Copies of this chain bind each other. A is one copy, B any other.
Amino acid sequence: MTGARSLLDILPAGVGTDDADVLAAYSHDKATFCPAGEPRALVRARATDDVVATLRWASEHRVPVVPQGTRTGLSGGANAIDGCVLLNLEKMNRILEIDAEEQIAVVEPGVINGDLANAVAERGLYYPPDPGSKDISTIGGNVATGAGGMCCVKYGTTADFVRGLSVVLADGRVMRTGRRTAKGVAGYDLTRLFVGSEGTLGIATEITLALRPARMRPLTAVGFFSSAEDACRAVARYLSEGFKPSVLEFMDAASIRAVGELTELGFPDGTGAMLIAQSDTAAASGELEAFERAAKDSAATEVIVAEDPAEGDLLMHARRLAGVAMEKQGPSLIDDICVPRRRLAELVRGIEKIANEHDVLISCVGHAGDGNIHPNVAFDANDERQVASAQRAFDAIMALGLELGGTITGEHGVGTLKRHWLARELDEAALWSHQQIKYALDPHGILNPGRVL
């Protein structure tokens, strides 16, 4: 493809490449069924200047730019577009500052979430957002998608921890948003506008994050239920009593089985669903006792309160393995709807019905405390009919989520996977506002075009 050379020439040696094999390796994120095009070049930015040079060039030549980190996204937002420049930020991975007194960190976008969490823990601090991908995904990607995780139920999502950004705009100008202070209302909240915009409005090259004081090592309880509906009822019952567990996770029978096959963990026979709750406040808070009560009042078959944090870690490990365990069973589509908590039982019942109607296997895990469930629609990639059924089931799940007053994506983002669905969730005026803002900040439409909108 022509034109790449004029970009590579203005970048420092080794930053850009148009090697076909390398391009192919960087052309996909982890989404299923999201097409990827053929990129023109790959830029592995080392510094903000590389991002500035790339965007200036792309703006001038009207070339689409696809920003990406470690490409762990699940919605195709980092997939190549034909003729695009892939702007990879994983090498901008320095933690620039950890200020323990002000409880903030300043990082480059390529820092791995877990690396930041460990680094701040060493300073007696806590960075709560913990997406399932925390050991492999970047803070920049977390910011781009507004990533969630298991601790959101108590502490909020990535968006709640972003204080400010340094953003390179489509034309290559650098803009600072937000602040380092605890509060501030000077002007529009551009920080929050950019968080979750999936690289369509600008590219963050420096991220200022709020931290929290270190917390107590959490204690864990697990409830087993004969049906998913009982478990969902326990969630609503527990939270409506006013408790704020730091984790409240759900696994259905299929995902429990999958994890069981991958590990030595034994789960009670006939388990239809499991809840994992954690408490990181003083034992006196009664958080886990309340969980036990709510679970038993919702027909739990067994409730175990882990006696020490290590035992709890093991149970959380089982939950974290669910993704890997499902992956091992073959290709699947991972959905991400979020509904009001009281509709959870209807949601899981509805998903069972969808699985039957479309004759596919759907397993569910999720952040039950937030009403955010990840149905995993499995299929045989060699069987065209199964592939089509899986796609129809995937769509039916989003329709159900909307019908129950929920959203098509709780934390994974829209990407290319769900952009046709965004128009069903938003009203006409909201879509118009999106398009107006996109055009206002990226008039030539070079930033990750066709994603989100």
CB within 8 Å of B: which residues of A? 100-103, 124, 145-146, 148, 152-153, 157, 159-160, 169, 173-177, 179-190, 192-193, 195-197, 201, 212-214, 236, 239-244, 281-282, 284-285, 338-342, 367, 369-372, 405-414, 418, 422, 425-430, 432-434, 436-437, 439-441, 452
Contact = CB atoms under 8 A, between A and B. Distances in A.
Given A182-B370, A186-B422, A193 B196 contact: no
Contacts of A195: 189
A228 B202 CA distance: 43
A54 to B, nearest CB: 17
Number of identical protomers: 2
Contacts of A370: 181-183
A173 B236 contact: no
Contact of A169 (B148, B160, B212, B433): B433
B440 A187 contact: no
A452 B196 contact: no
Contacts of A124: 242
A434 B285 contact: no
B102 A182 contact: no
B185 A434 contact: no
Nearest to A181: B338
Given A174-B429, A429-B175, A434 B180 contact: no
A120 to B, nearest CB: 12
Contacts of A409: 184-186
Q: Name the 5 nearest CB pairs between A and B, nearest first.
A: A213-B242, A192-B192, A175-B429, A440-B440, A436-B440
B285 A341 contact: no
Given A148-B185, A152-B183, A212-B244, 11 more contacts: A177-B430, A179-B338, A180-B340, A181-B370, A183-B410, A186-B414, A188-B196, A188-B201, A188-B434, A190-B433, A193-B437
Given A169-B433, A341-B102, A440-B439, A186 B240 contact: no
B341 A184 contact: no
A177 B437 CA distance: 14
A186 B242 contact: no
